Structure 1
Amino acid sequence: MKKRQEELAQEKAANAMILTSDHVRWVIGPSGTVVTFPNEMGLPSIFDPKPCRYPPPREKCAGPSCTNPYKYRDSKSKLPLCSLQCYKAIHEKMRSVSAC
């Protein structure tokens, strides 16, 4: 009787290994959720560690001798600007260049 139970347990384990060889297994239990991937498949790339990347530094204002980061864009020239003073300075500069 005991041998038969052991044989059944071994068969169950073998069948479980055969079934999970190409299946992703998702088990939700009282202790948490477990996701098992087959060895042939490997882990998906979402689990690969990636270095933390910071956003690139903000563009600087196009105003003359201004080093502030831009907050606005001029609708006509698409230049980055930080204030109304820089906007006026750029447009004054553009007028003087176009007047020549």
Structure 2
Amino acid sequence: MRLLRHHAPKLAVQGVSEEGAARLVDYKDHPELDELDKLVVEYSIAVTNNWNKTRDEVFVRLRAHFSEAQLVELTWRIALCGAFNRFNDILQLEVEQGVPHSEAAE
């Protein structure tokens, strides 16, 4: 996934190894993520892939950690990243050197 490779350096600053970044979508038993990190990854996947199936209980858990304004910003950032990735992939644009195209774009 392009998004994960793109964010690997930023994740490294947060203590997530390169290997940990590569398996970020396997968040449920990820040893490098705390419970809040896992919740944010779960929500990111929901926004990206399951937006029409997201249940209220996810928002209950998110609201225990984030204000409404923070939740709106988090959602907006996730949605924008997804939109940029889809845009770049469909047009087969290489945005950064060293970040290969996703399989869908090749």
TM range (shorter): under 0.3
Instruction: Provide the TM-score with structure 1 as the length reference.
Output: 0.28
Structure with the bigger percentage of helix:
2
Instruction: Provide the TM-score with structure 2 as the length reference.
Output: 0.27
Per chain length, whose mean CA-contact separation is higher, i.e. which structure has more relative contact order (CA < 8 Å, sep 6+)?
A: 2
